[in-house]
Amino acid sequence: MEAKEKINWTVEGMDCATCALTINKYLNKEGAKDVRVNFATGNVSFENSGSAPVEKISKGLAGLGYKVVNKSAAPSHGHDHSHEEKQSGFLKNNQQRFWFCLPFTLVLMLHMFPAMHDSWLMQPYVQLLLCLPVYVVGTSFFGISAWKSIRNGMPNMNVLIAIGATAAFIYSLYGLITGQHAYIFFETAATVITLVFLGNYVEERAVQSTQSQLKKLAETQVVMANMIAYDSDHNENVFPVESSALRTGDLILLKSGEQVPTDCKILWGDVSVNESIITGESVPVSKGKKARLIGGSIITDGTAKAQVTAVGNDTVLSGIIHMVEEAQGEKPPVQQMADKISAVFIPVVLGIAALTLIINWVVLKDFTPSLMRAIAVLVIACPCAMGLATPAAIAVGLGRGARNGILFRNATSLEHFKDIRQVVFDKTGTLTTGKFSISNYKILDPRIDEAAFKLLVYSLEKYSNHPIAKVFAKEWKANGEIRWQKIDEIKGEGMRASDKGGNEYRAGSYKIAAHLTKDDTHNIYVVENNQLIGYIDVVDELRPEAKSVVNYFHSKNIKTILLSGDKKAKAEHIAGILGIDEVIAEKKPEEKLAIVAKKNAEAPTAMVGDGINDAPALAQATIGISMSDASQIAMQTAQVVLMNHGLKNLPTALGLGRHTYKTIKENLFWAFSYNIIAIPVAALGFLTPQFGALVMAFSDVVLALNSGRLAIKKVK
């Protein structure tokens, strides 16, 4: 099996969405897998199987007109680096090019004022000299990009701009040489180039603004930290360092009002922490010894000493940013049609422009207005709008989700939310808090005293991952635990162990004691050598928001189902309190998988579980939603992760998915409508090339602004 290397690059030079298609097509041709190209950020990720060396792929992208400015096999979260790169040097970005071209173009446009008609500035050779710098700058950008795209069989929108501006310039040059001053339109060539540079710059700013939510997360990654070190006399010294200099195992001091510099574990002290950067919940939570803190959260009160547990790309926040960036680069099904149209759009527009020129020349019997109409068709067509429709909406939707503790692992899950007709809930840790307490226990064997019973149960349950087992590790922890010869956890039943004397002990559900007692009302049964020696009852409180979440789904006509391994009576009791429609109880993990598969076949189904024990069932659902705490494991389990058990955010996740899809549809409608209307209007002579360039330049801004509404609109 060939080893696959995960590559994450920042690529400069993507001027439109067709550029992203070009890069995608090239990487697939080179054998890359799981290709994701994010036009909005410049991020490109793919799996390289080794069929083509990475350096060769990088050079190939350079041949296409794109530059890899950040090469890394690890997640790259600084997508602004590409913009920093663009800012260096003279005329290296659209803003600089626009300001350079603007003075020349404004002077050329003075012919619109009658008083200037006899001015020396309006002389043909002066107009040529004024237009030439603009045309050279435009050709060096649009022309080179257009040529490379044509050479590689994937023409981009710069082909249209380059041909339109060149046609106006060459025609004007012909008029100048032949002395036919009525044919001189140098201002048209200059205006088209200048306005498209302006439009590209405004578009870049608008697209970057859709990344604002993600930028806020990224900006919290490098802060100052108070590092603790000890000298040779064991005296404690505290000194400031950048969080990027911290390493796993370092000791840091956390003080009130400061930002937690990186993931860490409290060794001493108690603090109140605002984790809204991760969860969207601004109410501070209390954290004490051994509690884990997420980098980026804020200490609102208290002081603590902590040990660094993760740095750089291994932190929770880095994982979130990387996951959101990857999801932004993925194309949901709704974008496939737009991509197919974008791929053939340029040749079609060139054909329409040629027909416009020929037909108007035949009808009007005048080449000059016919050429102007053809140029107007070229510059008003906008393939970017179709390619940008989805990335812009997804960027905002995913960014808002991340700021509210809702992580979408892929863009497809955003789209699938619109189809969900039923939601399956796991019980423990999902609808309940998962924080159990022992309410009652009884020892049935007179040979065993209370201390021995507790020690036995603790020694068994400490090896279990089940949420109920944690209560015994907390409340019945004792010294001198039993050393087992062998111990196993049987899913759906509980723990089984044997000691050196050959005695077998079991602690688990009623299934292990069904042949020993008819009483099935307890949570934990304890069996020694096939003899029932005791039972234990635990209680788990319902989450206060569970009722309102269930009611929300009912208001949207979505069926609710409780799927649990617990006793039917207990499951039905909880379902009755919450108003859940259907109860399926006493099921093992493998049975849950089959049930979710069956439900999914009936109607699109979302499942909400803990992300660990329910992993197979979560994967089987149309959308798997993990309720696990912020961890790398949780992020790899389900399509959607609700951070820090954020059940209250589930309605927002559903609403965000639906409204993101709605925004994508609105964007695509605008993109298609714009081109369907604008091209014929230009072909019939109702738009000048200059005005067409202005309209085209700002068409993408409409999409970015519409997408930006997702950041603030009500989505529930």
Which residues are annotated as catalytic?
Answer: 426
Which residue has 């996951």 as its token pair?
A: 323
**C-alpha–C-alpha distance, residues 81 and 401, integer Å:** 24
> What one-character-per-residue DSSP string does 81-101 give?
HHHHHHHSSTT-SHHHHHHHH
Distances in Å between the Cα of 471 and the Cα atoms of 457, 467, 476, 540, 715 are 11, 8, 8, 11, 38
Does residue 139 contact residue 197 with C-beta atoms inside 8 Å?
no
**C-alpha–C-alpha distance, residues 143 and 495, integer Å:** 71
| 537-576 as b/e: b if 16+ CB within 10 A | ebebeebebbeebbebbeeeebbbbbbbbbbeebbbebbe
The order of strands in the sheet holding 43-48 is 33-38, 43-48, 5-12, 67-72
Give the contacts of 500 (CB within 8 A, at least 6 positions apart): 483, 485
Q: How far is CA 602 from the centre of its chain?
A: 29
> What one-character-per-residue DSSP string does 131-154 give?
HHHHHHHHIIIIIHHHHHHHHTT-
**Of the candidates 388, 387, 379, the residue with the CA atom closest to the CA atom of residue 195:** 379
Question: Phi, psi at residue 575, to the nearest 5°?
Answer: -60, -35
Give the contacts of 355 (CB within 8 A, at least 6 positions apart): none
**Of the candidates 146, 589, 92, the residue with the CA atom closest to the CA atom of residue 349:** 146
Q: Is 206 exposed, middle or buried (0-12, 13-18, 19+ CB in 10 A)?
A: buried
Distances in Å between the Cα of 444 and the Cα atoms of 441, 448, 494, 524, 683 are 10, 8, 20, 13, 92
DSSP state of 259: B
For residue 540 the two structure tokens come to: 């788990």
> What one-character-per-residue DSSP string does 432-460 give?
EEEEEEEEEEEE--TTS-HHHHHHHHHHH
**C-alpha–C-alpha distance, residues 694 and 705, integer Å:** 17
**C-alpha–C-alpha distance, residues 306 and 248, integer Å:** 11
**C-alpha–C-alpha distance, residues 164 and 630, integer Å:** 53
**C-alpha–C-alpha distance, residues 407 and 114, integer Å:** 60
3-state secondary structure of 118: coil
For residue 406 the two structure tokens come to: 């809702």
Give the contacts of 210 (CB within 8 A, at least 6 positions apart): 40, 392, 395, 396, 399, 704, 707, 708
